Amino acid sequence: MDINVFQIIALTIYAFVATFDMLETDIGLSKPIQAGFFTGLIMGDITLGLAVGATLQLMILGVGTYGGASIPDFMTGAIIGTAFGVISGKGLEFAIGLAVPIGLFLVQLDVLARFTNTYFQHRADRYAEEANTRGIERMNILGVLPWGLSRAIPVCLALIFGTDIVQGLLKIFPDWLMGGLRVAGGILPALGIAILLKYLPTKKYFAYIIIGFIIAAYLKISMVGVALAGLALAFIVYQRNENSKDMTMGGVGEDE
């Protein structure tokens, strides 16, 4: 399958808009799962897009750009990985195998975008000293450009020039490498879950983890069913804690 001009333009614009969303509106367009879904929709394989996006999403659960730190750009990785996964016809393993190193590599462009953005912010500071509100607004709008272009340009160039490269790589990739990508595709979701569990009170609620495992592994219930069961258990715990608080407050009132 070849990629057409409309698909290149749509994915390039999405990469730019998603970066703006990350900085301002924050409705989730910059999340890998959203990027994967949109790319899958444009490329004609939503299932693959969701699988790639969800896998990368699991890898960054609990990770954020706190204090201005740069993190792997798995949003761009999801776009390029999904697109080439569809183009090549190799599916999930190949797509993730591309997306992960791309996300890790493009973190350098995030650093460059932040560095470039300081120019506009210093200009905004000078306008602030002059009480020039229009100048401040203009600098803040222009400051979005280096961020958006740091994602849009790599996506555009990869989709324009990368098809032939990908097709060439497919011919020279040995079986052991594709096998390694397949194994990595299976390990990464588990790694993301493990990272998430590290930040949760797993020791206190370990019994609920066992219940969830039994429901998913032995009863063969879909993830929606597992999520609903988890919601019900969480509501039970919440009610129990609230009742415990009411009893404690009632006891205090009686003592007084």
- Domain range list for the chain: 5-200, 201-256
Q: Which pLDDT value is given to residue 191? A: 64
Residue 147: per-residue pLDDT: 80
pLDDT-derived band at 143 (thresholds 50, 70, 90) equals confident
Measured distance CA(175)–CA(146) in Å, rounded: 40
Which single residue is written with the structure tokens 């052991």? 176
Contact 42, 11 (CB under 8 A): yes
Q: Distance between CA 28 and CA 39 in Å, rounded?
A: 15
Provide the pLDDT for residue 185: 53
Please give the span between the terminal C-alpha atoms of the chain, in angstroms, as a whole number.
77
What pLDDT was estimated at residue 61?
67
Q: Is the pLDDT of residue 194 over 60?
A: yes
pLDDT over 70 at 250, yes or no: no
The rounded percent of the chain whose pLDDT value lies above 70 is 78
Using 50, 70 and 90 to split pLDDT, how confident is the model at 160?
Answer: confident
At 179 the pLDDT is: 62
pLDDT band at 202 (very low <50, low <70, confident <90, very high): confident
Separation CA 235–CA 251 (nearest Å): 24
Residue 13, judged by CB atoms within 10 A of its CB (0-12, 13-18, 19+), counts as middle
3-state secondary structure of 201: coil
Q: Which residue has the higher pLDDT, 181 or 233?
A: 233
Can you tell me the distance from the alpha carbon of 210 to that of 218, in angstroms, rounded to the nearest whole number? Answer: 11
Q: Which one is predicted more confidently, 61 or 241?
A: 241
pTM assigned to the model? 0.63
